[in-house]
Each structure stands twice: as structure tokens, then as C-alpha cells.
Structure 1
Amino acid sequence: MARFVFRLQTVLEHRKRLEDLAKVAFGESQGGLFREQATLRGFQEDEERTVDHLEVIQHEGILDMENLQLGLRFLDVIKVQIDRQTQVVARAEARVEQRRQELVAAMQARKALDRLREKQLADFKRL
């Protein structure tokens, strides 16, 4: 009996490699996004702690203007960092979405050849 040979096997293998590379790129971009989101959360927690500290200073009754001004300046710096980090997170989210679309395209290309191979194999077995 003759052996089934899929003439596009090398193309199928190439598309599988491309899909694997796309999976790796997607995973790396997701990891980058998670790190950037964690950094943003850290800044937001710093802001929250600073606001809480400033409220405590104001309610103590004895106003330490130097300490209060220092806290307000620090709060301004944190807000700038939060704004910048929010932009970094947005860019990371866009990268993840782009990598996801690339992965979906690679999977669809591979699956199309897989379906063709399965169809040709079924036709071969019927003969």
C-alpha cells in the first residue's frame, strides 16, 4: 500500500514554528504588561499612603508646615509618575493586543493547512 505524503508538510511545519514564536512573543508581552501594571499599582499605593499621612498631619492639631509641604511635593511627584506609568501601561496593552492578533493569525494559518492535510488524508484512505 502506498504511503500518504502531504506535499505541503514543510509549509505546515514552518507555520507551526511561526505559531510557536507568536505564542512566545505573546507571553513575553503579557509578562511585560503585568510588570508595568504592578509598577503602576505600587505608585498608586504610594499615593494613597501619602494622602493618608498628609491627612494625619493635618488632623494632629499642630501643623508642621515643612513636613506638610514636603508631603505635598512628594504627592505631586507621585502623580507625575502615575501619569507616566499609565501611558507605559497603555503602550504595553497595545503591544499585547498586537501580539494576540499575530498569534490568532498564525494559528488560523496553521489550522487551515491542518484541515487541508486531514482532508487529503481522508481522501487518501478512501482510495
Structure 2
Amino acid sequence: MGFKFGLETVLKHRKRLEEIAQREFGEAQAAVEACLRELESMYNRMDEVRAEILDAQKVGSREKMEEVRGMEGFIDGQKIRIERQRLEARRLLSVAEEKQEALIEAAREKKILVKLKDKRLREYKEWLGRVEAKELDDMTMIRQARRAK
């Protein structure tokens, strides 16, 4: 007769829920990181264009001034795109925080069942030890009774 935890199926289900929450949190974090990399790339491109504008202004020719106007238009558009990307990054961060909270809750619920299982196993082992000790005592008593005859 071995130990059997009555809530083993519930524990397995909670473990699966924790694994799902872990995967979803990982995906949310990856999305945030990708969004932030894109945002950094946008800022870098804007810095490059600003440097190109400075170079073009040093030349001062009519053609370069047309290029400068076009580049300034790009910068204006880039500012709008950056703001949108920042809003998306905030949204993704919020989603990642929600996924992290879900993961923490799933881990907590699983941990409760793991502790209960450990407690029940410990109780079972204690009970089994008492039963075995009683059987040994009974066997000793029987031997002593036979010797006494």
C-alpha cells in the first residue's frame, strides 16, 4: 500500500496552468523587448538624419536646402511614429505586468498544493512508521509469549 495524493490531478492541472502562464509571460516580455528595440532604432535613425541635416547646411547649396526640407519632414513624421511606438511599448509593458501577475498567482496556487502533498506524504510516512512499530511490538510480544511457555 503506497502513498497516493488525492489531489494529484488538480496538482498536475495547476502545473500546466503555471507552464502556460510562464510561456505567456515570456512571450509578452519578448514583445516588449522587440518594441523597445524598434523604438531605439527609430531614435537612432532620427539622430542620423539630424547629422545629415547639419552636413547639408554646411554646404548651403540650393539642392541641399531642398534635401534639408525633406529630411525635416522625415523628422516630423518620425516624431509621430516614435510617439505611437512609445504608446505601444507602454501597452505591451502593461500586458507583460498582467501576465507576470498571472504567473505569480499560478505559481502560488501550485505551491499550496505541493506543500499539501508534502504534508500528506509526511503524515503518511509517520503513520506507516507507527504501524510498522506496532507490528514489531506485536511480533516481539508473541515471541516472548512463546518462550515463556
TM-score interval, normalised by the smaller of the two chains: over 0.9
Q: Which runs of 5+ in 2 are unaligned?
A: 128-149
The one-letter code matched in structure 1 to 2:75 is L
Report the Cα distance in structure 2 between the residues aligned to 1:118 and 1:24, rounded to whole angstroms: 27
Q: What CA deviation, in whole Å up to 9, does each residue of 1:49-102 have, x standing for no partner? A: 011111111223445321111111011011111100000111111111110000
- 2:47 maps to which residue? 48
Moved more, 58-67 or 88-97: 58-67
Residue ranges of structure 1 left out of the alignment (5+ in a row)? none
- TM-score, normalization by structure 2: 0.81
CA distance in 1, matches of 2:40, 2:65: 29
Q: Does 1:4 align with 2:3?
A: yes
| Count of residues paired in the alignment | 126
CA contact (8 A) 2:56 2:65 kept: no
More helix by share: 2
Stretches of 4+ aligned residues off by more than 6 angstroms: none
- CA distance, structure 2, for counterparts of residue 81 and residue 42 of structure 1: 12
Q: One-letter code of the match for 1:43?
A: M
RMSD of the TM alignment (CA)? 1.1
**Distance (Å, rounded) in 1 between the aligned partners of 2:59 and 2:107:** 62
Letter in 2 for 1:100: Q
- Which residue does 1:15 correspond to in 2? 14
Kept after mapping to 1: 8 A contact 2:57/2:65: no
Q: Percent identity?
A: 30
The residue that corresponds to 1:98 in the other structure is 98
RCO higher in structure (CA 8 A, sep ≥6): 1
TM-score normalised according to structure 1 size = 0.94
Counterpart secondary structure, 1:112: helix
Distance (Å, rounded) in 2 between the aligned partners of 1:68 and 1:37: 28
Please give the alpha-carbon distance, in whole angstroms, between the structure 2 residues aligned to 1:117 and 1:53. Answer: 67
State which structure, 1 or 2, has the greater radius of gyration over its C-alpha atoms.
2
Letter in 1 for 2:57: Q
Question: 1:32 deviation in Å?
Answer: 1.0
